[in-house]
Amino acid sequence: AVVCRVAPSFIRFGSFQIHMSDGHHQTLRTLVDHTVRHHFPDHDVSTDDGIIAWLTEVAETTATMIAHWMRVGFVHGVMNTDNMSIHGLTIDYGPYGWLEPFDVDWTPNTTDAGRRRYRYGNQPHIGAWNVARLLESMAPLLDDVGRLQPVLDHYMEYAMNAQSETWADKLGLGVLQESDEPLVNDLLTLLGATEVDMTIFFRHLCSITQPDIA
C-alpha cells in the first residue's frame, strides 16, 4: 500500500520560525516571498501593509480550520508550529482522534496526558499561541512591529465568532445571540456530565420535529 499526503504545499508556521530564531533574516524574506508568490498571489508583501494583510488571512483560515475541528469533535493532538499549515489545512496529525463521550479535556496524545495542552477544549487557544509565534517570526521584516498585535487580537475575535457560528449551526439557531450563550454553556456542561456521545447526540437532535408554534 502507498499512503500519500496531498496539499498545495507543506509550508508550516515553523518553516518561518526556524529562520527567524536562527537569525537568517534574508532566508526568511526569501521564504515569505516564495510562499506568497506561489500560494497567496493576491498579496504583495513588499510593504508592511502587504505583510499584515497576508498574515491576517492566515490567521483567519487558521481560526476557521480549528472551528471545523471543534464542530466535529476532532482533536489534533500535537499542535506545535511545525504541524500548523500556512494554508489553514489539517496536516501532520499523529495521535489524533474524535470525541466520543463529550469531554473538553480529552486528548488522544498519551504523551500530553499530564498537561493536556492539546486537549479538545484548548485548541482555539493553542491556535492563538501558534499564530503569535508566526507573527513573531515576521518581526524582522517589518518597519513597525507594533502592527503585529492587532493581527493576533483579530484572530481571537475571529475564532470566537467562528465558534459561535458553529454552535448556532449545530443547534439550528441561525445566529447565536448573546442571550443564547447560557443555553450553549448549559448544554456543554450537560454533555460533559453525562458523557454523551457528541456525534450521536447532534445526529439525534436533527431528527427532532419542530413543534407547531403557529
Count of other CB atoms within 10 angstroms of residue 46: 10
Quote the CA–CA distance of 73 and 199 in Å, as a whole number. Answer: 8
For residues 124 and 103, the answer to whether their CB atoms sit within 8 Å is: no
The answer to whether residue 49 is catalytic is: no
Quote the CA–CA distance of 136 and 11 in Å, as a whole number. Answer: 17
Q: Which of 161, 163, 156 is nearest to 128 (CA)?
A: 156
**Which among 49, 82, 169, 186 is annotated as catalytic?**
82
Q: Which of 129, 114, 115, 35 is nearest to 79 (CA)?
A: 129
What count of residues does the chain have? 214
Quote the CA–CA distance of 44 and 8 in Å, as a whole number. Answer: 19
Contacting residues for 48 by C-beta, under 8 A, at least 6 apart? 142, 143, 144, 147
Dig out the grid coordinates for 102 from the structure.
463529550
* DSSP letter assigned to residue 157: H
Q: Report, as residue numbers or ranges, the catalytic residues.
A: 82
